[in-house]
Chains A and B, each alone.
Chain A
Amino acid sequence: MAILKVESLNKAFGGLQATSDVSYEMKTGELSAIIGPNGAGKTTFFNLLTGYHKVDSGSVSFQGEDITNWPPHRIARLGIARAFQVSNIYLALTAYENIRQAILSQQKRTLNFLIPATRMAKKETRKLLELAGLSQHAGRIAGNLSQGDKKRLELAIALGCKPELLFLDEPTAGMSQEETYETMDLVKRLNREMNLTILFTEHDMTVVFGYAKRLTVLHQGSIIAEGSPEEVRSNELVQKIYLGEEA
C-alpha cells in the first residue's frame, strides 16, 4: 500500500494556480525528490500535504487514512514531519532544548506539569544531536549557530518527531558543498537504515541526481515529468524549461 497518496490536488492563491491537478504516490521506504525552478510550487505542495494551507480540491491520504485539510499538529502526530526551507527553529532556546521539545511532543509528555523537562528524554536528545553532528553545539543558543548548523538542527527537530514520512524542503539550502554532501549522506542513511520514507525538494541538480531514485518535475504547479534520474534528464520538455535555465 502506498504510504502517501495524493489525488488531483488543486490550490490557487488569488489568480495564481500554485498547484494544478497534482497526483502523486509514494511507497514505504522510498527516497524521492521533487525538482522544479523557483516558483514551481514545491513548497506549496508540502504546505498542502502538511496542513499549512487548505486545499481547494483533491485529496491527501497517509497509510490509507484521508488527511486532507487536517490541522498541522494532527498530521504531525500521525507520523509526518517536515523540515522547512528557511530554518524554522527556536532561536532563543539551546540546540539541545530545540530537539528535546520535538521529542517530548512525540512522546506525548508535553502535558506534564510537574517534572522538570531537564530530566526527560536525555538519551534520545543526545542521540539525535550526535546524528545531526551537533553534539559540540548542544548548549549553544540556536540563534547563534551557523547557517549550516541551523539547517541540521531543523532536520534534527523533524527527526525528533519520529516520523514515518519525512518532507525535506531544500535540506541543503545555504550549505557549503562539503556540508551538502554530508547532509545528503545522512538523508540517505536515514532512508536506508531506519527505513524512513523521504521526499525532498532541491534545486542543485547534482544533489538530486546523486541521491533520489525517483524524480518528479514540477513546473507552474503541474507535474510535467516523472521517472528515474536518467529518464528525467533525457526528457526534452524538462531540458527545455528546467535544465536549459540552469545550464
Chain B
Amino acid sequence: MFKYWWLGLTFIAMLVLPLVIGEFWIHVTIEILILGLFAVSFNMIFGYMGQLSFGHAAYFGVGAYATGLLMVKTAIPLPVCLIVSMITAGFFALAIGYFCVRLTGIYFAILTMAFGQLLYYVIFQWYSFTGGDDGLQGIVPPDWIIGVTPYYYFTFFIVVAALIVMWFISASPFGYTMRSIRENAERTQFIGINVRRYMLINFVVAGMFAGLAGGLLGPFNRSIAPDLCNWHQSGVPVFMTVIGGPLGFLGPMIGSVIYTFLFAFVTGFTEYWPLTIGLVIIFVVLFVPGGVLGLAQTMFRNRGTNDLIAEAKGSMDTETS
C-alpha cells in the first residue's frame, strides 16, 4: 500500500509543481516527462523482453515528424496528430521489427541501430518532405495549450495516461509472456508461444509509445531536427534505464528525472556534459547495478535473509486468496 500512497503523493506534487517553480524548470520537467515516456517504452523491449534496442530513437523521431509535419502542413488538431504519430511509429516498428526479432543479443542491438541510422539518413536528406538537416520550424501548439504551464499539464496528463496503459500491459498475461521470453525463450516456445510473433508485437507497441513521446516534443520545442532519430538519441533511454533501473516499471522514468535534471543543471555552468554523464554511468554500473530503483527496492526489502521470498509469497497470497 505504501507504494500507492507514494504514487498519489507524487501525482499531487506534479499537479502543484508549475505553481511553485520557475518557467525554466517547468520546461525541464516537460522534457523529463517526454523523455521518461520514451525511456519507459524502450524498457518494454529492454527490461521486459530482454533485448537491447539501440535504434529506439527511430520511432521517437518518426512520431515527432508525423505530428510536426501534420501541424505545419495541415490544420489537424493536436490530439489526432498524436494518434497518427503512434500509428506511424507503430507501422515503422512493424516493418523494422519484422527483421530484428529474428535475432537476439548483440545482433538485435546492431540491427535495430542500423535500421535507425537508415531512417535518420532518409530524414536528413529528404529536404522536400522533412526539411532535411534544417528540420521543421513553426510547430505551434494550439491556442488552448499555448504557454509553458498549459503545455505542462497537457503533457503530464498524456504521459500519465500512457504510463497507466503501459503498466497494465506489463502486468497482463502479455507482459508476463514477455518476461518468460526474457527468462527462457526456448521453454516459452514449448508451452505453445510463437516467440518471434510475440516479440514483434511487443516491439510494435513499444514503438507506438515512443512515437507518442516524439509527437509531444515538436509542439513543445516549436521545432524538430533530424538529430532526434540519430543514434545519440537512441542512447538516451539506454542511459536513463541503466541509471533508474530496468527491473522496475518506473525505473526509466526515475532515470529520466536524474538524467534530464542533471543535463539542465550541469550545462548551466559547464560544457562538459558528456564527461559528467559518463562518470554518472560508470558510477551506477559499478556500484548500483540495479539502478536507483533497484537500490531502493533492496533497501526496503533486505531486512531479513528471505525477504524477497516472503515478499513474493505475500503478494501471491493476497492475489490468490
Interface residues of chain A, those whose CB is within 8 Å of chain B, are: 50, 71-74, 76-77, 81-82, 84, 88-94, 96-97, 100-102, 104-106, 109-120, 122, 125-126, 138-141, 144, 157, 160-161
Contact = CB atoms under 8 A, between A and B. Distances in A.
Nearest to A121: B173
Range of interface residues on B (Cβ < 8 Å): 35 or more
Given A101-B180, A117-B173, A118-B171, A76 B192 contact: yes
B191 A90 contact: no
Given A88-B187, A117-B172, 17 more contacts: A76-B191, A82-B190, A90-B179, A92-B179, A92-B183, A96-B320, A100-B176, A101-B188, A115-B172, A116-B171, A117-B171, A118-B319, A118-B320, A125-B320, A144-B309, A160-B191, A161-B192
A90 B320 contact: no
Contacts of B186: 88
Contacts of B171: 116-118
Contacts, number: 125
A140 to B, nearest CB: 5
30 contacts: A50-B190, A71-B194, A74-B194, A77-B192, A81-B191, A82-B190, A88-B184, A88-B187, A90-B187, A91-B183, A92-B183, A93-B180, A93-B183, A94-B312, A100-B176, A101-B191, A104-B176, A104-B177, A111-B174, A113-B169, A114-B168, A114-B172, A115-B172, A115-B173, A116-B171, A117-B173, A139-B314, A139-B316, A141-B312, A157-B191
Contact of B173 (A82, A110, A161): A110
B1 to A, nearest CB: 16
Interface of B: 168-169, 171-177, 179-180, 183-184, 186-195, 198, 201, 308-310, 312-317, 319-320
Contact of A157 (B174, B187, B309): B187
Contact of A90 (B183, B312, B317): B183
Contacts of A160: 191
A65 to B, nearest CB: 16
Contacts of A96: 316, 320
Nearest to A116: B171
Contacts of A112: 172-174
A139 to B, nearest CB: 3
A59 to B, nearest CB: 21
A139 B321 CA distance: 13
Contacts of A92: 179, 183
Contact of A101 (B177, B194, B313, B316): B177
A60 B187 CA distance: 21
B85 to A, nearest CB: 20
Contacts of A89: 184, 187
Contacts of A115: 168, 172-173
Contact of A122 (B179, B198, B320): B320
> Which secondary structure dominates chain B's binding surface?
helix
A104 B184 CA distance: 16
B194 A73 contact: yes
A104 B198 CA distance: 14
A122 B321 CA distance: 9
Given A73-B189, A90-B179, A90-B184, A139 B174 contact: no
Nearest to A122: B320
Nearest to A142: B183
A16 B188 CA distance: 29
B319 to A, nearest CB: 4
B106 to A, nearest CB: 21
A233 B310 CA distance: 50
A217 B114 CA distance: 52
A82 B191 CA distance: 9
Nearest to A88: B187
Contacts of A74: 192, 194
Contacts of A126: 320
Nearest to B176: A117
Contacts of B320: 96, 118, 122, 125-126
B21 to A, nearest CB: 35
B187 A139 contact: no
Nearest to B167: A116
B192 A105 contact: yes
